[in-house]
Amino acid sequence: MKTSLKDIAETLKLSKTTISWVLSGKGDEKGISLATQEKVFQCAKQLNYQPNLLARSLNTGISGTIGLIIPDITDAFYSKVARSIEKEAETQGYSLMICSSESEIERENRMIRLFKAKQVDGIIVAPTKVSKIEIQNLVKEGYPLVLFDRYFPEMQTNYIIIDNEGSSYELVKKMIDNGSSKIAIITTNPHLRTMNMRREGYARALIEANLPVDPDLYGEVTFVDYEKNVFKTLDQIFSKVPDVDGFFFTTHILALEAFRYFYEKGININKGYELACIHGVSAFRVLAPNMNIARMPIEEIGKNAVRILLGDIKYRLENSTEKREVETLVLPCSLP
């Protein structure tokens, strides 16, 4: 049978209240001697006591868990951020619950409601952006929340993003400096403000170099069935601008699919073309060793997301009627 507080209390001939105080970390606060605390911990270990986390959360208001919602758990960027968040959460005594929204509005909303029902102490999310009803509800409630990679400019909430516009500008500027003058942009999800910022950086670099922002070099890929749509988009660009000499990819996912296109079409993309991408994966070292990459600060994103969220959790416990001032971070990428 599962060991209870009563079992430990009877073994040590102490009250259940004393046992509860010690195991919940309140021994010093309640004036319980170190010797008694040590006996309690040793007995709990010997009896293989497992705390009832739900009961503890009802008693303390803290479950010791946080929720993470990412668009795609198989995506290299999001999986690395998740690992960073989990690692940092563990150092702070928290466990992490992770789920993928699959970039679906209803699934994201369902996951938010599920996390709240599970009484997680706070939520970190890279939102789909298409629908924000549940996130708006979290903000209204003052629920501990941090957005990352994507955000809502009109919403007062914590968020962490990279310098999307500046990183894109620097990448395209370097392509121009290297001799490229007909640079295509391959992008997706125009409803995301972060993607628009990358497009703006691309356009600013062209304009400053007195190069036209040619609509025939703009490739917008619909994310649903993006594998097929990347092929269609690249076909259109090559048919309209056959002498295109550069490709700027706003995400590594689009770049990876483009390399399959180049391979199947027999195009040696590493000769006569300048390439650049926001975020990189290890495969790029083989597929395009000379590609300019803006490397995202994954560890910083994870650590800061946990830091901000735990700050919100603590503030909410101590100031239940007041909202904390939001914190926004724009982190630089490592550029070539």
Q: Taking a C-beta distance cutoff of 8 angstroms, is the pair 225, 257 a contact?
A: no
**Is residue 44 scored above 90 in pLDDT?**
no
**Residue 279 DSSP code:** S
Q: Rounded to whole angstroms, how far apart are CA atoms 170 and 164?
A: 10
**Is residue 202 scored above 90 in pLDDT?**
yes
Q: Rounded to whole angstroms, how far apart are CA atoms 83 and 87?
A: 6
Percent of the chain beyond pLDDT 90?
66
Q: Give 173's pLDDT tier (boundaries 50, 70, 90).
A: very high
Q: Rounded to whole angstroms, how far apart are CA atoms 123 and 41?
A: 32
Which is nearest to 139 in space by CA: 129, 131, 147, 130?
147
Q: Rounded to whole angstroms, how far apart are CA atoms 194 and 126?
A: 12
Mean pLDDT across the chain: 90
Q: Rounded to whole angstroms, how far apart are CA atoms 249 and 120?
A: 36
Q: Rounded to whole angstroms, how far apart are CA atoms 330 and 85?
A: 18
pLDDT for 228-244, tens place per residue?
899 999 999 999 999 99
Q: Which of 62-66, 163-167, 238-242, 245-249 has the lowest mean pLDDT?
A: 62-66
What predicted TM-score, i.e. pTM, was given to this entire model?
Answer: 0.80
pLDDT at position 64 is 86
Domains of the chain: 5-51 (1.10.260), 63-157+299-331 (3.40.50.2300), 164-294 (3.40.50.2300)
Q: Tell me what the mean pLDDT of segment 245-274 comes to.
A: 95
pLDDT for 99-146, tens place per residue?
999 888 889 999 999 998 888 999 999 998 776 788 999 998 889 999
pLDDT for 73-101, tens place per residue?
889 899 999 999 999 999 988 999 999 99
